Structure formats: structure tokens, C-alpha cells
Amino acid sequence: MRQIDVLSLYTNDMSFYGDMGNVLIVSKRLSFYGFEPVVHFYNPGDSFPDHVDMILGGGGQDSGQKNIFDDLQMRGEKLRQLSTQGVPMLMICGMYQLFGKYFLTNSGKKIPGISVFDVYTEATSDRLIGNLVEESDLFGRLVGFENHSGQTYFSSPLTPLGKVTSGGGNNSKDGVDGVIVNNTIGTYLHGPVLSKNPKLADFLICKAQLERYGEEELPPSPVLRRIDELAAKGNEVASRRPR
């Protein structure tokens, strides 16, 4: 069976508001597409797997970010290299912030990031919290839940993941959420985001398949077609919920 190796990055400290669910959803979808998913859980001090086809990272409290940033620096070069190579990655909230240049916390501590994204994040007292809805050129309407004090700004012109139609997103001024660089996506959508936005899950799987096996088309999956009808209803209902 064709294997796809998925890395769950800093699972112990960085998997808030259901973000760990993204690992489960990707694994299930991979199985339905006929792959054998192999999940590697990576935490500070662990050895990095020899081969990785996809990397998933989630959100966490400022304290969680403080726990992992040293180790992240050590892995920075490897992660930048994998991102440049086109390995698909999804980084949510706290990990999105640390894939940028830095996160300046409310208490004035500057937590360095690894600059995969040319963005920086600074905390404000205006916490962005509630349902977040956005329109993405690649994935249509994306829905999730945001909760962050950090406000993220682009340092150079970048492609956001989506235009916000309800909620905050990167910050309270720009009207956009997230960023896409190579096949690496940053976003403030928790939820787990992949449950209500299966196109995003399939993007990650397509790119992983392309990297590993040189094929882009996913095989048809009647089971997933039915599941995705339910996901579309979930997306619809959540997008109408007030913050």
C-alpha cells in the first residue's frame, strides 16, 4: 500500500480547539483514498523523521509557544527547506505566528519564529474571538473558530488564504486571514478547520501525493463524496452563526 508520512508538529503544546482533529481527518481521508497514513508525533527533543510528506501544526497558549520555540529554532532550517521544496503544511494560529518572524506577547516577550512566512505578530488587548468566515480563491468559503490576542501583519506583499467576510483573521485592519507560501498555509481557523473545509484537506493530500508519487489527481472516493456533503452543511450552518 502506498504510504504517506504525516508529521504532527508539537502535538503536546500546540493543538488547541480541536486542531489535533486535523491529523485524524487527514489520516482518515488518506485511507479512503487508498493510502496508508503513517503519523509521526513530534515534540521538543524528539528525533525528526527521515521522511515527511505533510506537516500539521496547531494553536496553543503563549506558554505553549514559549515551551517549543527553542526546539523550533533548531528545526527551522529543515522546515524552511521542506516548505521551499513544496511539502504541504498547515499551520494554525500559534504555529502560524511562529512560522512568521516573531510573536510579541502581551507581557512584552518576543518569541522568535522561523520566518517561513514574511509576517510578524504583536499581541493587543483586543482579543479576536468567535467564528471566522472567509472567501478563498482556491478553496471557496472557509469557516472556523478564532481566538487570539496576536495580530499578524505581512512584511512584504503576500497571498492571504482568504478575504474575511465575518470575524477578524490576521488582524483587525486588513480584512484577510492567513497566508499561502509554496504549499505552506498559515491561518487563524481552528475547529478543526479540515472538518468543515474538505477542499483544504484535499489540497494537502494532493500536494503530498504529488511530492511523493508524482501524481496530482486523487482517486474517486464515493465514501468521501457523502462525507463532504455533510461537511458542506456544517460549513453552511457555521458560516451563519454569530460570533
Annotated active-site positions, please? 93, 190
Alpha-carbon radius of gyration of the chain: 17
Q: Would you count residue 30 as binding ligand GLN (CB under 6 A)? A: no
Residues 75-94 that bind ligand GLN (CB under 6 A): 93-94
Dihedral-angle region of residue 149 (phi above 0 means left; psi in -120 to 50 means alpha; beta otherwise) = alpha
Q: Would you count residue 150 as binding ligand GLN (CB under 6 A)? A: yes
Decide whether 25 or 93 has the Cβ nearer to ligand GLN. 93
Q: Would you count residue 177 as binding ligand GLN (CB under 6 A)? A: no
The DSSP letter of residue 81 is: H
Q: Would you count residue 186 as binding ligand GLN (CB under 6 A)? A: no
Give the DSSP H/E element, type plus range, for residue 186. Answer: strand 184-187
Stretch that binds ligand GLN, among 42-50, 61-69, 137-145, 224-232 (CB under 6 A): 61-69
Q: Would you count residue 57 as binding ligand GLN (CB under 6 A)? A: no
The DSSP letter of residue 127 is: E
Q: Would you count residue 149 as binding ligand GLN (CB under 6 A)? A: yes
Q: Would you count residue 18 as binding ligand GLN (CB under 6 A)? A: no
When CB distances to ligand GLN are compared, the closest residue is: 59
* Burial class of 21 by CB neighbour count within 10 A (0 to 12, 13 to 18, 19+): middle
The full DSSP string for 3-57 is: EEEEEEETTTTS--TTTHHHHHHHHHHHHHTTEEEEEEEE-TTPPPPS--SEEEE
Quote the least distance from Cβ 106 to ligand GLN, whole Å: 8
Judge if the upstream peptide bond of residue 37 is cis by omega within 30 degrees of 0.
no
Decide whether 12 or 31 has the Cβ nearer to ligand GLN. 12
Amino acid present at 99:
F
Which of 147, 182, 221, 239 forms a contact with ligand GLN (CB under 6 A)?
147
Quote the least distance from Cβ 17 to ligand GLN, whole Å: 7
Strand order, beta sheet including 54-57: 35-42, 2-9, 54-57, 89-92, 184-187, 179-181
Q: Would you count residue 162 as binding ligand GLN (CB under 6 A)? A: no
Decide whether 65 or 183 has the Cβ nearer to ligand GLN. 65
Q: Would you count residue 144 as binding ligand GLN (CB under 6 A)? A: no
Quote the least distance from Cβ 57 to ligand GLN, whole Å: 10
Residues that bind ligand GLN (CB under 6 A): 16, 59-62, 65, 93-94, 147-150
